[in-house]
């Protein structure tokens, strides 16, 4: 199949993160197998989702047949929901209009996966002295949950590669850094009581509100005082509370309040140091207030999802290669997260470069332009040729 046909096939699978991606993964695996390419899967605990990793061995020279070294092309197979969005077309059916391809995931990021899969026959035919690898993950959109399962297996199997390109939408420009993203679930446990007997209870919502305001104060401090990195579109670490629920009735003191918060940290700022400020506030300020009302009050905080920041090394071979192939020499750093930091964490030099504008991702009528897809195809072709035997 060509790139257009692959994209049409991939967007036809509703791989919203709440759903299984196994049917899509099976389609990729079967296509690769038919072309003589072996792959392995790394599943979630429930066996309802899977990552796929495949290697196209070197085809020429003294290294013919080797699977060591080479470059990984990485992408995630899940997409964000369309719930509540007003689409002009069926979001899971590819529609071409005015030089663009519309569908959920066309931009973020099935366009890159489609291009990589369409290139496989060419890659097989190229006299490459090094292998190419394909790494397709699940659940990136809900905190990069799937990729660590695959990366753990890569380490376990002793797979060695030279570099990785994560094809998130960058308009085919080079992104050398992005922030880390860390998502926390907080449960504030108080004591219920009839609201007419307020002193007999411990209001979980009100104490949760104190913690939420403290998180906002920390965020304001980073905005006002830094540290800063002016290459980022948002040049400081951000913190925000995004979900909250609690209470069972208008006349009952709530015993439980749950909320989630996240922070997106600049490279160089550790998750532990940022979270330590929140933990200190809980221990030294909030819990004493709560336990003065209810001795068994407690607060649980769970870091349930996240991905580390990326800070690519300019001198790394993969950075120099991608810059050379794209002709892009600008320094670009972005606030959104990707799986690139996870690859870098296990020692694989990584860069971000893929088709589409991130501003079109996650929106109704998501699209990728035909011109961007063509640029991606040209880039991946050049990348393959860069591995050819001399």
What string of pLDDT tens digits covers the 390 residues of the chain? 999 999 999 999 999 999 999 999 999 999 999 999 999 999 999 999 999 999 999 998 778 888 899 999 999 999 999 999 999 999 999 999 999 999 999 999 999 999 999 999 999 999 999 999 999 999 999 989 999 999 999 999 999 999 999 999 999 999 999 999 999 999 999 999 999 999 999 999 999 999 999 999 999 999 999 999 999 989 999 999 999 999 999 999 999 999 999 999 999 999 999 999 999 999 999 999 999 999 999 999 999 888 899 999 898 999 999 999 999 999 999 988 899 999 999 999 999 999 999 999 999 999 999 999 999 999 999 999 999 865
Rounded Cα distance between 339 and 140, Å, is 7
Asked if residue 44 lies in contact with residue 146, where contact means CB atoms within 8 angstroms, the answer is yes
Active-site residues, by number, are 78, 140
Q: Note the pLDDT of residue 28.
A: 98
Closest C-alpha to 262, from 304, 225, 231: 304
Per the document, the length of the chain is: 390
> Class of the 3-177+309-386 domain?
alpha beta
* Cα dist from 306 to 123, 159, 263, whole Å: 33, 24, 10
- Residue 314: Cβ within 10 Å count: 9
- Stretch(es) of the chain classified as CATH 3.30.70.360: 180-306
- Residue 371: Cβ within 10 Å count: 12
Q: Note the pLDDT of residue 88.
A: 97
Q: Note the pLDDT of residue 117.
A: 98
Q: Note the pLDDT of residue 390.
A: 52
Asked if residue 26 lies in contact with residue 9, where contact means CB atoms within 8 angstroms, the answer is no
* Tokens (6 digits) for 139: 């659940």
The rounded Cα 101 to chain-centroid distance in angstroms is 22
- Residue 61: Cβ within 10 Å count: 14
- Stretch(es) of the chain classified as CATH 3.40.630.10: 3-177+309-386
Q: What is the pTM of this model?
A: 0.89
- Axis-axis angle for helices 3-11, 110-125 (nearest 10): 140
- Residue 119: Cβ within 10 Å count: 24
Closest C-alpha to 221, from 281, 301, 177, 178: 281
- Residue 328: Cβ within 10 Å count: 17
Q: Is 180-306 assigned to CATH 3.40.50.740?
A: no
Asked if residue 333 lies in contact with residue 232, where contact means CB atoms within 8 angstroms, the answer is yes
Angle at 108 between CA 102 and CA 109, to 5 degrees: 105
Asked if residue 196 lies in contact with residue 247, where contact means CB atoms within 8 angstroms, the answer is no
The 3-class SS string of the chain reads CCHHHHHHHHHCCCCECCCCCHHHHHHHHHHHHHCCCCEEEEECCCCCCEEEEEEECCCCCCCCCCCCCCEEEEEECCECCCCCCCCCCCCCCCEEECCEEECCCCCCCHHHHHHHHHHHHHHHHCCECCCEEEEEECCCCCCCCCHHHHHHHHHHHCCCCCEEEECCCCCCCCECEECEEEEEEEEEECECEEHHHHHHCECHHHHHHHHHHHHHHHHHHHHHHCCCCCCECCCCCEEEEEEEEECCCCCEECCEEEEEEEEEECCCCCHHHHHHHHHHHHHHHHHHHHHHHCCCCEEEEEEEEEECCEECCCCCHHHHHHHHHHCCCCCCEECCCCCHHHHHHCCCCEEECCCCCHHHCCCCCCEEEHHHHHHHHHHHHHHHHHCECC
Rounded Cα distance between 139 and 161, Å, is 23
């Amino acid at each position: 199949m060509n790139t257009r046909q692959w994209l049409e096939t991939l967007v036809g699978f509703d791989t919203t993160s709440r759903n299984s991606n196994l049917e899509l993964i099976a389609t990729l695996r079967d296509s690769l197998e038919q072309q003589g390419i072996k792959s392995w899967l790394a599943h979630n605990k429930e066996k309802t989702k899977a990552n796929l990793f495949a290697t196209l061995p070197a085809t020429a020279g003294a290294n013919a047949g080797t699977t060591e070294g080479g470059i990984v092309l990485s992408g995630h197979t899940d997409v964000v929901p369309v719930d509540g969005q007003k689409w002009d077309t069926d979001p899971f059916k590819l529609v071409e209009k005015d030089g663009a391809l519309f569908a959920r995931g066309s931009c973020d990021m099935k366009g890159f996966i489609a291009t990589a899969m369409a290139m496989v026959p060419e890659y097989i035919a190229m006299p490459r002295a090094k292998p190419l690898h394909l790494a397709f993950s699940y659940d990136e959109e809900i905190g990069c949950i799937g990729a660590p399962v695959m990366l753990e297996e890569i380490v376990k199997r002793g797979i060695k590669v030279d570099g990785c390109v994560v094809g998130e939408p960058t308009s085919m420009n080079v992104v050398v850094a992005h922030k880390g993203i860390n998502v926390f679930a907080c449960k504030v446990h108080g004591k219920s009581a009839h609201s007419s007997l307020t002193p007999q209870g411990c209001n979980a919502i009100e104490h949760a509100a104190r913690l939420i305001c403290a998180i906002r104060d920390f965020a304001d401090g980073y905005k006002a005082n830094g540290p800063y990195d002016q290459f980022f579109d948002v040049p400081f670490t951000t913190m925000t509370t995004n979900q909250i629920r609690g209470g069972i009735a208008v006349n009952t003191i709530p015993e439980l309040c749950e909320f989630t918060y996240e922070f997106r940290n600049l490279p160089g700022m550790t998750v532990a140091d940022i979270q330590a400020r929140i933990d200190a506030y809980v221990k030294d300020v909030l819990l004493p207030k709560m336990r003065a009302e209810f001795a068994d009050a407690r607060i649980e905080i769970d870091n349930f999802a996240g991905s580390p920041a990326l800070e690519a090394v300019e001198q790394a071979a993969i950075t120099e290669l991608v810059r050379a192939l794209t002709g892009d020499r600008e320094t670009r750093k972005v606030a959104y997260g990707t799986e690139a930091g996870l690859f870098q964490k296990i020692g694989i030099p990584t860069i971000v470069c893929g088709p589409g504008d991130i501003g079109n991702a996650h929106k109704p009528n998501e699209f990728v332009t035909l011109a961007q897809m063509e640029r991606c195809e040209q880039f991946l072709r050049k990348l393959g040729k860069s591995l050819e035997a001399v």
